[in-house]
Chains A and B, each alone.
Chain A
Amino acid sequence: MDTVAVKSAHDHDHAHGAAHDHDHGHHKQSFITKYIFSTDHKMIARQFLFTALFFLLIGGAFALFLRWQLGFPGQAIPFISDLLPQSWVDRGWIADGAIQPSLFAQFISMHGTIMIFYVIIPLAVGFFGNFCIPLMIGTDDMAFPKLNMISFWMVPPAGVLLMSSFWLESGASVAGWTSYPPLSVVAGMGQTFWVVSIFMIGFSSILGAINYITTVLNKRAPGMRLFQMPLTVWALFITAVLITLGTPVLASALALVFMDQVFHASIFIPQNLIISNNPFTGGGQPILFQHLFWFYSHPAVYIMILPSMGVVSDVMATFSRKPVYGYKAMIFAIMAIAFLGFVVWGHHMFQSGMSPVLGTTFMLSTIVIAVPSAIKTFNWLGILWKGSIHFTTPMLNALAFVATFVVGGLSGIFMAVAPIDVYIHDTYFIVAHIHYVLFGGSLFGIFAGIYYWYPKMTGRMYNEALGRKHFWWTFVTYNLTFFPMHLLGIGGHLRRTYDPYIYDFLKHFLMMNRFITVFAILLGFSQLLLLVNILWSWKFGKKAPRNPWHANSLEWAAPSPPPHGNFDMQLHVYRGPYEYSLPEMEEDYLPQWIERTDSVRSAEEHAQHSELASDYSDGEPLPHNA
């Protein structure tokens, strides 16, 4: 099928072939400036992608160690146990090939830390933010390319620091990814490494976020109004606002913990503790840390899921061949989530000992935040309604996002209702919930985005058959892994527990834990299909056209892959990003950059009038106003 996109791009090639390379001349780049200290947003996006995928393997491996212990307690880990470092055996972390409690606690902490700070945030914010924002708003690069480079280069040293703590005598962090004092203050050197590492990666986030905000506000292609940006850009933009407001608070909390650890400032250490039979005193308040931590870390939940929500909206519109249902409602819902996200942190602290009156307040605010999530879900269903649904790999992942997000959102209601949280707090119900939101939600959205923009990023098509295989294996094993965790939680099964079977009331869960472990292992290995697809297709995939999905947003106007400087044509934006299936047009899509010729104008007017006739429309003003 001939495409509007390619035709128009060719027209523009002739007209504006040389117009774009003002300060992005095609000067020669050395290997180092091109691949390592690159200031090109697309290269930085790839760096984030591969760094995060590397950490995904590590964090996933840690999860499987934990699962092994819960499913097969005390048994030697097959194949792997001989490969683990001898120093771990010497310190008693591993005995007879089985994980000991001290190593288990380190894996618990590091699994959560890595998955949140080194996988999901770098993928959702670092990768999508860098790759999508300049391309989707039709500009050559970020507003501050050097800042962007620094933002990435804070990640590897932070990651090395974090991982190196496994070689400390006292081991890595054992205080969980939440790192509550007093434990995090007294737990040893690994905890200090943890604090410094997270502090650095927080700054990486802040630098990136400043860049995103500036870029979105200042560098949009001519003609593009804010309410003509794709929802991916909107979501990333609001995520960046969340990061700039929230992350400094986390940084301050970490700095205070650092002061307590290193200088015994006793900000979070109360009077007269007895630690290992020794007095340890201060004048502080441990709950204060939780307030500071969750003031960032609850919005962080939305930092991790909003980008995926944006991606999923774009992917679903493209593959339903339909405008996003309630485009502005979607944006206002994102804004509402972002705003409410800052007034609900206390729902993590219902059992913490803070005033129960605050519990009432936070219960009500938390339960209200379910509303914008519900609005988004209904609008996603609205996109499917009367669409023409193409079941490609990105679409399958996007649909899985919606389905699992519904589960994660609904299980969140249990926690939001404070009296129920009393029982399920710190049980596997929470573990199930967070994995439905972060794995099922964020990660399926990320998968959808990786497949969707793969042709643009690499200039090659991914392997569709392999992509589907990856999706189905992941979707099935994922649900069989995490859904039973709700049942464990309802049964009172503790999270972060090395051996639940010392409790009589949990003994009957051994078989269910074993079931979960088997599917977790399959889930882990299913991800190799994604890696193989990414690497293999990069070299051997079919060459990708400019606009393989016949999509409307600006990135599809650029060559695949886009060169340094991105666009080889002068862009002007004439309409919103979701003008699919106009009744009068032969093609079922009308990209944002296509000029308003007479025939386009009449098709748009006709579409608008027929829509106005049938119902209220949230579309563009009539074309003759433009």
Chain B
Amino acid sequence: MLDYLPEVVSTVGIAHDHLFVLVYYITAIIFVLVNVLMVYFLIKYRRREGRKAYHFHGSMPVEFTWTLLPTLLFAGLGFYSDDLWADMKYQNRVPKPDIEIDVLGQTFLWHFRYPGADGVLGKKDFKFRTATNLFGMDPSDPYGKDDFITTTHFNLPVNKTVVVHLSSVDVLHSFFLPHFRVKQDAVPGMWINVPFDGLKTGVYELVCAELCGSGHYSMRGVLHMQSQTDFDKWMNEQTKSKTPAPPVAEGAAASTESGTGDPAATMGAGTANSDTSVAQ
């Protein structure tokens, strides 16, 4: 059965698979014991002429034993698993990211926002969201100026800590990377941090796991896990060739008017402040 698990390519995925195997063997042993015992009883105590059933109402020590043992076993399993759970989801354990991106689900598409050359994602707020500014980027924030957006396809560097900020434009979606054992619902109205890393270059599929309408099945994304150099090259190409997302253009226009829109200045400031910005 375990052979059916897809190839695992993340640190958290490896830990997940260890736990999965542990639970698999615990449950398999219980399953076999219970069923073997049951079949044995069914054969041994089948009705036969001249034998009467044993008139017996039960035994307190026995009940006590088979209450206590599963309690210890299951509670132990729960406490044992909690650490991995905390690693996966606790917001205060989200590691310092090497790269962070915004991911938005929209019926039935995935959008990805990259920080661009300055390495900093521009400020965002849901109040800025319009049909042409899905991420709700703050038009006045210079860091947002070089941010670029991709749809369906996204790239990430291998062996780096990635933090995805996840939300949705319309209904619930779920960000599921099967090979990474990563899943998190995308909830409109809130941003959720999803940390993970990738241990192997390659192309992996992103799945929407939460029913989002009749096209739910087709909400597929593609993750290109690249070496750092390939990824840097890709980032460069995107930043240069990509027409900036419309809201960014508006924002740039607005900030030019107010006299703070010098691209060089923006980039320099971004680089200088990138560490503090990322840590936020």
Chain A residues within 8 Å of B, Cβ to Cβ: 101-102, 104-105, 108, 174-176, 180-183, 186-187, 270-280, 284-287, 320-327, 329, 351-353, 356-357, 359-360, 363-364, 367-368, 370-371, 374-375, 377-379, 381-382, 384-391, 399, 402-403, 406-407, 410-411, 413-414, 416-420, 422-423, 425-427, 486-488, 490-492, 494, 496-500, 502-505, 578-583, 588, 607, 610-611, 614-619
Contact = CB atoms under 8 A, between A and B. Distances in A.
Nearest to B31: A410
B63 A326 contact: yes
Contacts of B89: 356, 359, 418, 422
Interface residues of B, number: 96
A569 to B, nearest CB: 26
B172 A325 contact: no
Contact of A381 (B19, B38, B60, B207): B38
Given A353-B185, A360-B82, A422-B181, A327 B16 contact: no
A353 B166 CA distance: 10
B259 interface: no
B235 interface: no
Nearest to A109: B211
A115 B211 CA distance: 19
B47 A322 contact: no
A127 B96 CA distance: 58
Contacts of A378: 66
Contact of B172 (A182, A324, A486): A182
B218 A499 contact: yes
Nearest to B39: A403
Contacts of A360: 82, 85-86
Contacts of A272: 126-127, 129, 136
B72 to A, nearest CB: 10
Interface stretch (B48-56, B139-147, B151-159, B241-249): B48-56
Interface in B43-69: 45-48, 51-63, 66-67
Interface string B203-219: 00101011111111110
Given A274-B170, A326-B63, A368-B78, 11 more contacts: A183-B171, A274-B169, A353-B184, A384-B38, A419-B16, A423-B183, A488-B4, A499-B217, A503-B207, A617-B57, A618-B57
B58 A325 contact: yes
Contacts of A175: 211
A277 B107 CA distance: 10
Interface string B94-107: 00000000000011
A108 to B, nearest CB: 8
B23 A371 contact: no
B182 interface: yes
A414 B27 contact: yes
Nearest to A379: B58
B75 A367 contact: yes
